Amino acid sequence: MTLHNLMARIFCLISLLILSLGFNPCTAFSWKNASMVEGGIQGCRPSPHPFSLCKSEAEAFGYPCEDHKVTTEDGYILSLKRIPHGPSDGDNSTDDENTRPPVLLFHGLMVDGISWLLGTPKQSLGFILAYWDWSWDEIAAYDLPAVLQFVYDYTGGQKVHYIGHSLGTLIILAAFSEHKLLHLVRSAALLCPIAYLDKTRSKLSRVASQIFLAETTHFLGWHEFNPFGLVAREVLLLVCGNPQVDCRDVFSALAGPDCCLNTTTTCAFLQHAIQSTSVRNLVHLSQMVRRKGIRRYDYGNVKANMKHYNQTRPPLYNLSSIPTHVPMLLMHGGQDFLGDVPDTRHLLKTLVRNHEKDNIEVIYVPDYAHADFVTGFNAPQLVYKPMVNFFQRH
């Protein structure tokens, strides 16, 4: 039995009814010049419970929080957190939990489940509703089915409203394209949908892909990519030496200039992110940047591809084969460098062309970049409210 790094593959399970809280606007804050210092984040107080999502975020605001473990078919142990209802003194705490449709939140790359709980209860969607030989292929094939099945069984056979951000959108699209998990999912909301990456605006990602940086790291025997480790430092030195990449603000160079973050949320984010991922996962994403289409992981030689796929090239995920009746909400931003507008439009053309009109919606937020959809101070109005309305219609 092997154990995934729980900070890299951790998932939140929550109840839909906690998505009805209000919104309290805060002042905007930029990630620019926010820096790491020894012993913590400059300008940010250390978390009293840095490794416990339940204690540091949910229970601190009076929300009940449950820990669950799910073992995947390939032997990985996943950690799930469940918020069954609002604060214990709230009006909804005595409602029958089985009457509430379950919602599964899947985070993006190099963050963990706490990204859904970084703000106050009125700001966070989570309140309002070390083995490294894997890529997102395995997350789609093993982690996602195991988690969804667990939620389905735990809630008495209720189909799940799925919410994915960034990489969390790619894995559900991959599963849907193979007609998998349809019996478990009631609808899907995709924030910053990641599918096609060949036109990405992220110069940092493009340069790293062009010089085969992830592949070189993997070849040298590294399997875990720790963003604060020695390998990451060497990687940044190489990439930032390219005049195309402005490393004065690494977050913006990677994912785009977020418009709507505040100091408190940003500090909470920096205390828990960025998390490790597998080098092989970065190799897979780099392959997607260099090539058109969405394929399984390329092992780099004919023999290995034949062994795994019985063909010389990795098979395609055919997104046009996603069933047209699946209710999907896609939300993307004009300043997002990862889920950039040209690549997202390619995805939308693939999906919307034949999809049932009543079962697909698209919302475009011109000023939003990648992190704004999860941590933006005005996300409750621009993102979460229409999302909840979408769930209520489906």
The neighbour count for residue 163, using CB atoms within 10 Å, is: 30
Query: Is 336 considered catalytic here?
Result: yes
Catalytic residue among 166, 252, 276, 278: 166
Query: Is 370 considered catalytic here?
Result: yes
CA–CA separation, 162 and 144 (whole Å): 11
Query: Is 165 considered catalytic here?
Result: no
CA–CA separation, 108 and 373 (whole Å): 12
Going by C-alpha positions, the residue among 342, 318, 332 that lies closest to residue 370 is 332
Q: Which amino acid, 225? A: F
CA–CA separation, 356 and 133 (whole Å): 38
Catalytic residue among 272, 332, 370, 394: 370
Please say whether the dihedral angle defined by the alpha carbons of residues 284, 148, 180 and 194, taken in this order, is positive or negative. Answer: negative
The neighbour count for residue 151, using CB atoms within 10 Å, is: 24
CA–CA separation, 196 and 294 (whole Å): 7
- Name the one residue in this structure whose structure tokens are 């990648």: 370
Catalytic residue among 336, 340, 343, 372: 336
Report the relative pairing of strands 102-106 and 10-15 from DSSP bridges: antiparallel
Per-residue CA distances from 8 to 225, 231, 292, 296 (Å): 10, 17, 27, 21
Torsions phi, psi for 105 (to 5 deg): -105, 125
CA–CA separation, 220 and 324 (whole Å): 44
Q: Which residues participate in catalysis according to the annotation?
A: 166, 336, 370
